[in-house]
Amino acid sequence: MFVRRWFSSRKRASVVICHGIGEHSGRYDGFATYLNGKGFDVFAADFPGHGMHSGTRGFIKSFDDFTSLVKEVADRVKKIQPELPLFLFGHSMGGLIATRVIEVHPDLFNAAALSAPHLFSAKESVKNLLPLISIIRRVAPKTTFSSSSRFTPADLSNNERAVQRYIADPYVHDRVSPNLFFGLEDSIEQALKEADRIMTPTLIVYGSADRVVDPVGGKELYEKINVEKKMLEIPGGKHELFADEERRSQFFGAISSFFLEHI
C-alpha cells in the first residue's frame, strides 16, 4: 500500500482522501495543505490500478479492494490517533468508494464529503460494447481499454494550468479493465439502493458545469439519505473543483466547515 501523509501542527482531526479514476493521491496536495492549515492531518492511498500502487494500470480484482483499502487506512489512522475525529473525502470514483464505505461501515467516520460523486451509469453510452466487454472479462480480465472518449481533459477544470498538469502527469492514465468497469456499474446501483444504511453526516458538492459525471446521481443519493445531509452546487464549476483557482476557495471552505461542525 502506498499512502501519502500531510501533517498539521494543530491536529484537531484527520481526513482520509479517496481519489478518482485514472488519477492518484498526489493530485490532492493543494487541498491537503489547505486542510493542514485548518488543523487536519490528511491521509490518502493510491488505489489498486492507480498511481504508485503496484499492478496493471486500470485493473482491479474486485471493487471491494477499494473499499477494503479505505477501511485499512482508516483503521491505521485511528490506531495512531485514537483521540482525533476522523473524516472521509471522496472525489468522482472516490466519491462512489466513499459512499460504499459509509454504507458498509456507518460508524467509521464522523462525517463525509463527496465531490462530484460517480453515481451515474455509463452503460447506456457503451451499450453496444457490453457483450464484448463481458466476453473480455471472462477470457482476458487484465485487458484494459481507453476511457478517454468519455471526456477531454479540458472538461475537468476551468484552470488551464491544472489541465496541462493533468495531461503531463506520468501517473495519470485512461485505462479501464472490464472488472473496473462492471465494478463501478454494480457499485453505483448498490450505493443508490443502500443509501438508507448511511448514518454518517454527508455533504455532496458538485459544479453546475460538470460534463464528466452527471450530478443527477449525486442528487438521487442526497434524496435517499435519511440523516444529516447538505448539498452544494458551485455555479460554473467543472468536474475538478479542487483544481479550479476561481472556485476552490468556496469548495475548500465548504468541506472544511462541514467537517469542523462535526468535531
Q: How far is CA 263 from the centre of its chain?
A: 22
pLDDT at 129 (0 to 100): 64
Residue 141's pLDDT is what? 77
pTM over 0.85: yes
In this prediction, residue 62 carries a pLDDT of 93
pLDDT of residue 143: 85
Conformation bin of residue 92: beta by default, left when phi > 0, alpha when psi is -120 to 50: left
Of residues 188, 94, 186, 181, the one with CA closest to residue 141: 181
Write down the pLDDT at residue 127.
Answer: 58
Domains of the chain: 3-260 (3.40.50.1820)
Instruction: Report pLDDT for 124.
Output: 60
Torsional class of 55: left (φ above 0), alpha (ψ -120 to 50), beta (otherwise) = left
pLDDT tens profile 157-209: 999 999 999 999 999 999 999 899 989 999 999 999 999 999 999 999 999 99
Residues in CB range of 42: below 8 A, 6 or more apart: 5, 6, 8, 14, 15, 16, 17, 28, 31, 32, 35, 36
pLDDT at residue 211, rounded to an integer:
94
Low-confidence ranges of the chain (pLDDT < 50): none
3-state secondary structure of 114: strand
Ranges of H-type helices in 146-215 = 160-168, 178-193
Beta bridge partners of residue 76, listed in sequence order: none
d(CA 90, CA 95): 4
Rounded (10°) CA dihedral 261, 203, 252, 150: 170
127 neighbors 219 (Cβ within 8 angstroms): no
C-alpha cell recorded at residue 67: 473499499
> Residue 48: its pLDDT value, please?
95
Distance of CA 183 to the CA centre of its chain: 15
- Say if CB 260 and CB 38 are below 8 A apart: yes
pLDDT of residue 241: 98
pLDDT value of residue 139: 77
CB atoms within 10 A of CB 174: 17
Where residue 207 falls (left for φ over 0; alpha for ψ -120 to 50; beta otherwise) is beta
pLDDT of residue 130: 66
**Which pLDDT value is given to residue 145?**
85
